[in-house]
Every structure is written in C-alpha cells, then in structure tokens.
Amino acid sequence: MSFTDREWWTLVHGMVLGAFFLLAFAGGLAELYSLKPALLTRVGVQSRMRRVKVGVVAMAVAAWLTVITGTWIVYPWYREDVASSPRSTLLADPSTAEWHEFGMEWKEHIAWISPILATAVAFIVVYYGTNLIRHDRVRRTAIGLFVLAFVIAGIAGAFGAFITKVAPVI
Amino acid sequence: MARTERTEPTSEPDDLPPVTDKPEGPISAAIIAAGIGAAALGLFTTLAEASATVKDWLQWNDRVGPLSGKTLLAVAVWLAAWAILHVTLRNRPFETRRALIITLVLLVLGVIGTFPTFFQAFTSE
C-alpha cells in the first residue's frame, strides 16, 4: 500500500490544498458575513478582524499553491507525449476525449482566475480593516468576489476530480 | 487578566472602534486589476489558439507548454495593472460599486476567453 511520487503530488494538489482552501473559504466567508455593527463589540472586533484576515489570506495562499503545483508539477505529467499519459489515454478513446478537449482545457485556464480574485479580497480586508464593519458596500463587494473565487476554483476542482477518476496521473 | 470576546449582539455604534476613513480608491484599483488579469488570461488563451506563432512564443517552458506563457503573462498584466491603478486611484474616492461592475464585465470576458467551445472556434489550421 503505497503512492508513487506523482500520486503524492496529485494528492497534495487536489486534496491537501483543496481541503485547506475549502476550510479557509468557509471560515473567511462566515467571518466576513458577520462583520456587522449589530454583531460586534469593541472587544470582540479585534479577534474577529484577526480571524477574517487569517481566513482570506489563507484562502489566497491556498489558491496560489494549488494553481502553481497543478500547472508546474502535475500538469507536465498529465500532458507527457507518451501513450500512457492521461492526456494520451483520454484522447485515444472518442468516448473520453471530451474530458481533455473540454474538461482539462477549461480547468487548466480558468483555475488561474481564482487566486487573482482571492488576492484582491485579501488586500481589501487587510487594507480596509475595521472600516469594513461600517462600510457595508465594500464588505458586500468583498464577499461577492470571495464567493466568485470559490466558484471558479470549484469548477476547476470538480473537473480535476472527474479527470483523475477517468485517467489518473500515475 | 485574559480578555474575553463578547458575543452577544449590540446595536450601539459607540461600542465599536473609531473608523479611520480610508479612500476606496486602492480597493477599487485591486478589484479592477483582478478583472484585467482575468480578461488578459482569456485573451492570451484565445490568441494562442488562433495563431500558431503566438502559441509557440507562449511556450516558455517545454514541459508545461503554452500554458506557462499564458498564465505567467496574465499574472504580469494583472500586477502591472494593479500597480498603475493603485498609483492613479490611491487618493480618489472611486466607488467600489463602479469597480465591481467593470470587473464583472472583464471577468465574463475572461471566462468566455478561457471557455474551450469559444477559443477552439479560432483554432488555426
């Protein structure tokens, strides 16, 4: 019972960083949502702000690490010009070719939008700090971009999971 | 003495820390730059498909292929746009709502540009 180096990296890219990303998103979203004057006090706001900052920065870091490991470590193995590579395997069979031609082609590109959006949100939260509590418009904008970053990562992650199921990197 | 967080809701605004009014300009700059980065990625993806010359030029790393150039260039455009917009808007009260609308349009363009059905329609022979 063991994993190859390639399988380990696929696990790190998809599961370890994916779980970290999900956790950071859930925490960051909950804290961002609750940054309302009616739910905060002078004492509580300090620890609440700290948690928001940790959540959004952690999600941005997780998103960057995911796309960097995916593009620069796992993807070269996926697209190797040999008959046994996942890309070759998928394209060899007309019934699975669409997993590459649509799924992988979309995933490998769209994934990079997520860390860009997540970084913008992290900047907003770190720069604006406690001002977010009273400036509802900015807070809602940050939440909107945060959710968009998550949805885009979700599309890429879902296709990654499906493609790995059909043609894993071994 | 350890501080404990009060969790009960309060509607007293005076109970909150004072607000240091920062301009929204830098926030708007970050938001618009993100949209520009997304649109740039869509543009490079479509251009690489439409032109074999562009595709070859974007192959900055042989193992990764053209994806290396597309993504690194999009990140460079995003950072450059952010720096320029930050300097331009840093002291301006540029509303985040306007920035968000601009960014959503750019994001849609970015998503369309990276959508296989769209960019594969431009595939060069």
Domain spans, chain B: 23-122
Identify the pLDDT of residue B7: 35
Identify the pLDDT of residue B14: 54
Identify the pLDDT of residue A1: 79
Q: Which of A15-19, A33-37, B96-100, B110-114 comes out lowest in average pLDDT?
A: A33-37
Contact criterion met (CB < 8 Å) for A41 and B15 = yes
B3 close to A (CB below 8 A) = yes
Identify the pLDDT of residue B6: 36
Identify the pLDDT of residue B11: 46
DSSP state at residue B17: P
pLDDT of B12 > 50? The answer is no
Spatial separation of the C-alpha atoms in residues A55 and A136, rounded to whole Å: 19
Identify the pLDDT of residue B2: 41
Angle in degrees, CA A161, A27, A103, rounded to 5: 20
Distance, in angstroms, between A141 CA and closest chain B CA?
A: 7
B17-22 mean pLDDT: 68
Residue of A nearest to B94 (CA): A138
Provide, as residue numbers in chain A, all residues whose Cβ is less than 8 Å from the Cβ of B79: none
Higher pLDDT pick, A151 / B14: A151
A51-57 mean pLDDT: 94
* pLDDT tens for each residue of A5-43: 999 999 999 999 999 999 999 999 999 998 887 777 777
User: What is the maximal distance between C-alpha atoms in chain B?
Assistant: 74
Identify the pLDDT of residue A123: 97
DSSP state at residue B61: B
Distance, in angstroms, between B57 CA and closest chain A CA?
A: 17
A111-138 mean pLDDT: 94
For B61, list phi and psi in degrees, rounded to 5: -140, 125
pLDDT of B3 > 50? The answer is no
A25 close to B (CB below 8 A) = no
Distance, in angstroms, between B38 CA and closest chain A CA?
A: 6
Identify the pLDDT of residue B5: 37
* pLDDT tens for each residue of A55-113: 999 999 999 999 999 999 999 999 999 999 999 999 999 999 999 999 999 999 999 99
Residue of B nearest to A125 (CA): B27
Q: For residue B103, how many other CB atoms are within 10 A of its CB?
A: 29
Looking at every residue in chain A, the average pLDDT score rounds to 93
Identify the pLDDT of residue A38: 76
Residues 74-113 of B with CB under 8 A from A: 74-75, 78, 95-97, 99-100, 103, 107, 110-111
Distance, in angstroms, between B64 CA and closest chain A CA?
A: 5
Identify the pLDDT of residue B125: 66
Residues 22-51 of B with CB under 8 A from A: 22, 24, 26-27, 30-31, 33-34, 37-38, 41-42, 45
B16-22 mean pLDDT: 67
Contact criterion met (CB < 8 Å) for B37 and A105 = no
B65 close to A (CB below 8 A) = yes
Q: Is the dihedral of CA A34, A37, A43, A46 positive or negative?
A: positive
B27-50 mean pLDDT: 97
Residue of B nearest to A122 (CA): B30
* pLDDT tens for each residue of A134-161: 888 999 999 999 999 999 999 999 999 9
